């Protein structure tokens, strides 16, 4: 092995050792470094598009995971659930109302989060402004969650107990003990 090769191997070894030492140094990592240039710091581009489209965005998980089916997923599984024409119509109308409300509220949440970002960016935010901006964002988020969960509540009695059980099985929630035990049925 020539001197140049040994030197290159030594330098490479030192660089790898230094990199390992830095990686294991316990220094905090900037987990958000790749997010600092987002249009809305708390929302990815995908989140923004989903909110504008009125998508569920996971906001109704408490309902979904506890035996209250969502209208979008019910419609997606209409054939598997053997929905009657009346059920299809009722659930489609419910979905359209939910989506229209969500499409109205999603941009409100985006705007509230942008306003919070802007207040920090301006460098003049104080505690009162902070509380007001956060309250506005959370108010928009809570109204959006209610829209989605109310749709789950309204959709559930439109299905038979068998359809609810089948829905939960098809969605992978077969172990859910609540899927056929709603007091409103």
pLDDT at 42: 87
pLDDT class for 4, splitting at 50, 70, 90? low
Length of the chain: 185
Closest CA to 156 of 181, 121, 131: 181
- pLDDT tens per residue, range 147-165: 999 999 999 999 999 999 9
Task: Using alpha carbons, list the distances in angstroms from residue 146 to 86, 88, 95.
Answer: 25, 23, 14
Residue 21, pLDDT above cutoff 70: no
Percent residues over pLDDT 90 in the chain: 69
pLDDT at 124: 87
pLDDT at 41: 84
- pLDDT tens per residue, range 56-94: 989 999 999 999 999 999 999 999 999 999 999 999 999
pLDDT at 117: 93
Residue 173, pLDDT above cutoff 80: yes
Phi-psi region of 30 (alpha: psi -120 to 50; beta: other; left: phi over 0): beta
Which position has the higher pLDDT, 129 or 15? 129
**Cα(56)–Cα(148) distance, integer angstroms:** 7
pLDDT at 27: 56
**Cα(65)–Cα(169) distance, integer angstroms:** 11
Q: Quickly tell me which residue has 């509540």 as its tokens.
A: 153
Residue 8, pLDDT above cutoff 60: no
Domain ranges of the chain: 42-170
Q: Contact at 8 Å (CB) between 110 and 40?
A: yes
Strand, helix or coil at 40? strand
- pLDDT tens per residue, range 102-146: 999 999 999 999 999 999 999 989 999 999 999 999 999 999 999
Residue 173 burial (CB < 10 Å; 0-12/13-18/19+)?
A: middle
Which helix (H) or strand (E) covers residue 148, if one does? helix 127-155
């Amino acid at each position: 092995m020539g001197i140049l090769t040994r030197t290159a191997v030594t330098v490479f070894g030192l660089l790898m050792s230094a990199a390992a030492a830095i990686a294991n140094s316990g220094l905090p990592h900037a987990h958000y470094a790749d997010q600092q240039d987002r249009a809305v710091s708390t929302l990815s581009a995908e989140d923004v598009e989903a909110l504008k489209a009125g998508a569920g965005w996971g906001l109704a998980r408490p309902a979904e995971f506890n035996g209250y089916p969502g209208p979008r997923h019910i419609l997606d599984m209409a054939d598997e659930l053997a929905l009657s024409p009346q059920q299809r119509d009722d659930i489609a109308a419910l979905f359209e109302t939910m989506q229209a409300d969500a499409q109205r509220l999603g941009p409100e949440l985006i705007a509230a989060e942008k306003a919070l970002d802007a207040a920090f960016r301006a460098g003049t935010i104080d505690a009162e402004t902070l509380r007001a901006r956060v309250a506005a964002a959370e108010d928009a988020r809570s109204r959006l969650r209610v829209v989605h969960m109310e749709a789950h509540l309204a959709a559930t009695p439109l299905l038979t107990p068998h359809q609810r059980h089948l829905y939960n099985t098809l969605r992978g929630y077969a172990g859910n003990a609540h899927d056929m035990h709603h007091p409103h049925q």
